[in-house]
Structure 1
Amino acid sequence: MNDSLSYTLVIMGPAYGTQSAYCAYQFAQTLLSKTSHTIKNIFFYADGVYNGNKFTDPASDEFDLVSAWQALAKEYCLTLTICVAAAQRRGVIETNLADCFQLTGLGELSASITETDRTIQF
């Protein structure tokens, strides 16, 4: 019997100013490093698209969440998808998109939700 679940994470909070994106990062990191569960897609929507802005520049004593997402994606071969419509409304476009993030539509989120066991929104 396989007790492993697959997840879709939906991040709606910005990289800074609220705890939701950081909590999502901590959840993803713990899920992947301490369990046999998998994450199929991490989808950034609404203000969550700010997590993919390569021009985010935290102070030297602050946690760099954008870089942390990138490192997690590389380590676990994750997909970091950003809603293109939400991103355009917030000025996050292809030229300022951080590495490991890709612009996509809500169809990607819909497909991911139907293909995974659990969807969690932060």
Structure 2
Amino acid sequence: MNTADLVFVGFNRRVAALQRQTGDIVWEWKASNGMSYVSLLLDGGTLIVSVNGYMYGLDAATGRQMWYNPMKGYGTGVAAMVSVKGMSSNPTAAAAADEAARQASQNSTTATSTT
């Protein structure tokens, strides 16, 4: 199934992918470590999951766990996560935003060098 057809939810160390149109559960996954809060970030085809400081990488289409990182020494709590790929679920919009940022940077550099 295409990840564009899915919605991801996390509760109590569990993650589920729901079919966007019907709400039906496509796959479910449960973290081996951590409790309670789940933070999610869709990064291309990888769903990055944080459960109280424990980090997991899941295949977004299947829910298969690809990697695990206990983040020793970082503490616990709700994670703040950012990724360039995770900024937009629309690749065209993300590419347009990247191009606009590149153009703005070039314009700024050009304006600075001509003054």
TM range (shorter): under 0.3
Bigger proportion of residues as helix: 1
Bigger proportion of residues as strand: 2
- The structure number with the bigger radius of gyration is 2
Bigger relative contact order (CA 8 A; separation at least 6): 1
